[in-house]
Chain A
Amino acid sequence: MVTVRDGEGAEGAATVGAQAKSGDRAGQAMLSSHSALAVLRLSGGQALLYAVLLILLIVTFVPIVYLIALSLKDNGQIYGRFWSMPDPYRWENFALGSLAIWRAVLNSILTSGSSTAATVVLASLSGYVFARHRFPGKELIYTGILALLMIPPILTLIPAYVLILNMGLENTYWALILPWTSGGQVFALLLCRSFFATLPEEFFDAARIDGASELQSFARIAVPLSAPILVTVAVVRLVTTYNQFMWPLVVISSPKKQVVAVALTQFTSEIGVTDLGPQMAGYILASIPLIVLFSFGMRHYVRGLTAGGLKA
């Protein structure tokens, strides 16, 4: 959505720009009535826009710059020369930080990744069934699933924890993977169903005439055509689960199995690192999976959240 409209928007902006430029050159043209004044005011306005945006941008980046600066200092540099640049650069902080969190990052990637994969498989299958099949009770079941969108996680937190306890799954990866897989399906199913419903019926008719089974037409036609929406689902779920804090905090007690969001907060106590530098380096390293993910999946992420939210 963003991509397509991006073009339009840029075009629109370009048109306005062209108008302004022509006004600038000719001294009249489109805004002829009070041209000189308008030009002055507009360019003044533009300068103001730039100024405000730049200031906001700088303030937005202060914590990030601060984080990076601290990550390259040792405690002596931080406490002694707070305002000076790191000198020398303590790159070994990153080595120390990575030692402390690599395991948690792996745990996160493992649990987020496997639950996301399971969500995508299950949601695309059932989304396909809900979009293309007819069977008694379909709408009833579908409404029943959508009703779950109204259930906030805070309501199910404690009962789900007790359920995990009763199943004997506390402090295992399953305690994260199963509920995340399940919880992600609702939104994923919503996206998949509405996407599958837009695929032309003719494709599937043709496949059926050629003797394809239901599963074959799902795997050979529906899935390849819906790759974009499946990627969207995957990106949203990966980001969401990677950022999860409260649920792992409740169900995982062993530091060895803890995911990165919680592990970062237990940095000092669990790993015995008291220097700020390695800690900050750890924070940055913990962001790497998200940086990788966002560098190609940003537009999928926004599209997924928007679509899920607007349709809900």
Chain B
Amino acid sequence: MSGARAAGHRVPFKRAAVAIALAAAFLLVVALPIAAQSPEGLLWKREWASRVQAVAISEDGGLIAVGSRDNSLRMFDGSGEQLWLFEAENSILGVDMSPDGQWLAVASEDRFVYLLDGKGNQLWNYKAARPMNNAAVARDGSLVAATSDDLSVYVFDQGGNLLWQEELGIGVRAVDVYGSGEKARVVLGSDDGLITIYNREGRDLLQAWLDYSVVSVSVTPNGARILAGAGDGSAILLNGANGNQIWSFKTEDTVKSVSLASDGSIALVGSEDGSAYLLDRDGLLTHQFRQDSEVLSVALASDGKRLSIGTVSGAARIYDRAAALSGAARSSAQRQRTVFAVFGVIALLVLAAVWAARNTAAGQQVWQRSAAGPLGVLQIMWSARLSYILILPTLALLLTFNYYPAFSGLYHAFTEWSPGVRTEWVGLSNFHSLTENRFFLSGFRNAAILVVVSVAKTMTMPLLVAEFIFNLRNRFSQYWFRTLFVVPIVLPAVVEILVWNNIYDPAIGLLNETLKLVGLEELTRVWYGDASVALGSIIFIGVPWVNAFALLIFYGGLISISNEIIDASLVDGASTWRRFWSIDLPLLMGQVKLLLILNFINAVQTFELVFLTTGGGPGAATYTPALELYYKAMRMDRMGIASAIGMILFMIILAGTIVNMRFVSSSTEYEA
């Protein structure tokens, strides 16, 4: 800064400037690789025109089977070379492979379940009434289980003989098999949230209930752990011995596929939210594999070293787990380098300023004017040490609880943030995902409406009432009206909302009861439950909106208008109406501006008003961005996306504040 000022004065400046520019460029180069990151741990991928609906992987990750909508099942080796191809009559919906890769069970929309050997030869098939949607095979091929859209499960022996069949009468597509020979067991999950373990003869050994439909299950070879993926987006690990829940992990959309390593210590969860999540033994996220579209199928090798992911866009990707994790670590190292680079640049600027101050004429002038050299400044600072000590507690608190969170929020808006686990730089992808989040978009629209309404409420009713009270001739009435209108301020804000919840209560609320009383029964409704009136109901809260605070401010402004001006207007024969527009309103611009900005800032952050009334519903009808922020952070652990929402709201408030200051103050000057 001072360097630029000094540019014209001395030649050495140029040399120093070049040196500093070079150093800055070097620092940027150090930081640059962040932009050119490659997807971490990706071994290879194959892409087709049609969606990949089923993937399976062998124990050592050396064989990968990929079933897709183009009716083909392809077998690849570990390096991605295609070994063989099997074609069914219709799309492949499910595939399972024994750990050694010698047995493959394939379910297809052509209504068949096939058992293949390791070379891709068909051993037998069986046809159901409706498409087969999933299949599983025991490690020795001695048992094959298949689920079908005819709401039944079919269980076969190695030779393709039907051992038993059960019609569940409810959608079923989650199936897995553990154990071998006579000890083989079938684990089945259905749309009513029931997980059942059957023995070879079809007797149920254990049942566990989940709250949502079970879309996929995976079980360890010893049956000790069962991982279930549910329709509400959660993946739940159960103890196979007693059906107790061990942990659960929440994704943002239906979990289409889950896979467990053989010791249950690693879990892979594929969700329609477009990511596959790698979890550790406690259900904590260790890595997130972002895909370009919904994840339909995932498979994890028994040793947990390799994994494959199939997506709607027709891509099958094979990852190396260790490389993916170290890649994440590497990216965090890169981030540290960025931080280092930023601080480096700042340090360089300081250096440049110091250098300029010492070596250029203008800089020296500034230097000497401010102090008698560096020692002088230190001396002054030392002699003022008491001042610094006294403000130290304030500064320490502000830096810790205000400055640090603010910058942390701005930074983490660009990251995938799981505090205590992992922080990964993802660039703009949080913002990108927000543009497709219907809750956020609807929240945005609602926030805009709430801002306009809130400003309108505050600018009309309180001002009107303040004018009316001001125009009363009786001092006594003035006092009492003013006091009474201010009384409601003693209710905590939350209580007002809760009382209004009660007024809107569909069963015994004041509003519906009043409507019944006056014979307008057809107007009664579930005020918060009806998407067409829910937002209106929320806005209506607090009618007639004589906000006590705004009233006091306007009234204070009115009584501070000097009597001379009002008398003069009376003498001139101005009507009350005329006086309001030509005298009161222009003189109240300061108050208007204050209330405008306070209301704007509060309305943009609307949270309680929605959280305590409709909770955002019905659907997304009354969401606000702050509400979505809360849900994302507290219910889905998406701190990064929540920070991105916070950052967007911050920007809006900043812009609104600046506009308000510019626009309203200039018009005040003009009016006055």
Binding between chains A and B: yes
Which residues of A are interface residues toward B (Cβ below 8 A)? 1-2, 5-6, 8-17, 19-20, 45-46, 49-50, 52-53, 56-57, 59-64, 66-67, 70, 78-79, 82-83, 122-123, 125-126, 128-130, 133-136, 138, 141, 145, 148, 150-163, 165-166, 178-179, 181-183, 185-186, 189, 214, 242-243, 245-246, 250, 260-262, 264-265, 276, 280, 283, 286-287, 290-291, 294, 298, 302, 305-306, 309-310
Knowing that A13-B473, A79-B508, A294-B489 touch, tell me 20 more A-B residue pairs with CB under 8 angstroms: A5-B556, A12-B566, A20-B473, A53-B481, A61-B484, A64-B499, A66-B510, A78-B508, A122-B393, A151-B650, A152-B601, A152-B649, A156-B409, A162-B639, A182-B401, A182-B402, A245-B494, A264-B494, A280-B499, A290-B490
> B544 is contacted by which of A59, A158, A302 (Cβ under 8 Å)?
A59
29 pairs, CB–CB < 8 Å, chain A vs chain B = A1-B556, A6-B559, A9-B560, A10-B559, A14-B475, A49-B471, A49-B472, A52-B468, A61-B488, A70-B502, A78-B508, A123-B394, A129-B391, A133-B386, A135-B380, A145-B395, A154-B646, A155-B647, A156-B409, A162-B639, A182-B398, A185-B397, A189-B394, A265-B612, A283-B498, A290-B489, A302-B553, A310-B590, A310-B594
Report Cα–Cα, A292/B76, bound state, in Å: 77
Residue of B nearest to A305 (CB): B549
Report Cα–Cα, A243/B497, bound state, in Å: 12
Q: Is the CB of A151 within 8 A of B408?
A: no
B440 within 8 A of A: no
Q: Is the CB of B397 within 8 A of A243?
A: no
Q: Is the CB of A182 within 8 A of B397?
A: yes
* Partner-contacting stretch, out of B55-63, B97-105, B526-534, B628-636: B628-636
> A56 is contacted by which of B384, B395, B470, B544 (Cβ under 8 Å)?
B544
Q: Is the CB of A126 within 8 A of B390?
A: yes
Q: Is the CB of A309 within 8 A of B630?
A: no
Q: Given A243-B494, A283-B498 in contact, is the A141-B391 Cβ separation under 8 Å?
A: yes
Residue of B nearest to A64 (CB): B488
Report Cα–Cα, A6/B487, bound state, in Å: 18
Interface residues of B in 458-475 (CB under 8 A from A): 461, 465, 468-475
Min CB gap A232→B, angstroms: 14
- Nearest 8 interchain pairs by C-beta: A9-B559, A135-B384, A159-B405, A159-B408, A156-B405, A182-B401, A182-B397, A17-B473
* Residues of the A chain whose Cβ atoms lie less than 8 Å from the Cβ of B491: 64, 283, 287, 290
Q: Is the CB of A9 within 8 A of B405?
A: no
Question: Using an 8 Å CB-CB cutoff, how does the interface string of B619-649 with A read, 1 for contact, 0 for none?
Answer: 0000000100110011000010011001101
Min CB gap B631→A, angstroms: 12
Q: Is the CB of B559 within 8 A of A148?
A: no
* Residues of the A chain whose Cβ atoms lie less than 8 Å from the Cβ of B503: 63, 66
Min CB gap B364→A, angstroms: 18
Residue of A nearest to B403 (CB): A148
* Residues of the A chain whose Cβ atoms lie less than 8 Å from the Cβ of B412: 158-159
Q: Is the CB of B384 within 8 A of A306?
A: no
Interface residues of B in 365-383 (CB under 8 A from A): 371, 377, 380-381
B493 within 8 A of A: yes
Min CB gap A101→B, angstroms: 11
Q: Given A5-B556, A130-B391 in contact, is the A158-B639 Cβ separation under 8 Å?
A: yes
Interface residues of B in 494-516 (CB under 8 A from A): 494-496, 498-500, 502-503, 508, 510, 513
Residue of B nearest to A66 (CB): B510
Report Cα–Cα, A306/B567, bound state, in Å: 28
Q: Given A152-B650, A155-B406, A264-B495 in contact, is the A181-B481 Cβ separation under 8 Å?
A: no
B400 within 8 A of A: yes
Which residues of B are interface residues toward A (Cβ below 8 A)? 371, 377, 380-381, 384, 386-388, 390-391, 393-395, 397-398, 400-406, 408-410, 412, 417, 419-420, 461, 465, 468-475, 477-479, 481, 484-496, 498-500, 502-503, 508, 510, 513, 517, 543-544, 546, 549, 552-553, 555-556, 558-560, 563, 566-567, 570, 576, 590, 594, 597-598, 601, 604-605, 607-608, 612, 626, 629-630, 633-634, 639, 642-643, 646-647, 649-650, 653-654, 657
Q: Is the CB of A82 within 8 A of B494?
A: no
Report Cα–Cα, A171/B567, bound state, in Å: 60
Residue from A82, A129, A181, A182 having most chain B Cβ neighbours under 10 A: A182
* Residues of the A chain whose Cβ atoms lie less than 8 Å from the Cβ of B384: 133-136
Q: Is the CB of B484 within 8 A of A57?
A: yes
Report Cα–Cα, A280/B496, bound state, in Å: 11
Q: Is the CB of A129 within 8 A of B559?
A: no
Report Cα–Cα, A20/B474, bound state, in Å: 11
* Residues of the B chain whose Cβ atoms lie less than 8 Å from the Cβ of A152: 601, 604-605, 649-650, 653
Residue of A nearest to B474 (CB): A17
Q: Is the CB of A57 within 8 A of B647?
A: no
Min CB gap B350→A, angstroms: 14
Q: Is the CB of B406 within 8 A of A136?
A: no
Report Cα–Cα, A57/B495, bound state, in Å: 19
Residue from B409, B488, B643 having most chain A Cβ neighbours under 10 A: B409
Q: Is the CB of A63 within 8 A of B499?
A: yes
* Residues of the B chain whose Cβ atoms lie less than 8 Å from the Cβ of A186: 398, 402
Residue of B nearest to A130 (CB): B391
Q: Is the CB of A8 within 8 A of B481?
A: no
Report Cα–Cα, A136/B388, bound state, in Å: 10
> A154 is contacted by which of B395, B486, B634, B650 (Cβ under 8 Å)?
B650
* Residues of the B chain whose Cβ atoms lie less than 8 Å from the Cβ of A78: 508
Q: Given A8-B559, A135-B384, A294-B489 in contact, is the A53-B395 Cβ separation under 8 Å?
A: no
* Residues of the B chain whose Cβ atoms lie less than 8 Å from the Cβ of A63: 496, 499-500, 503
Q: Is the CB of B492 within 8 A of A154?
A: no
Q: Is the CB of B391 within 8 A of A158?
A: no
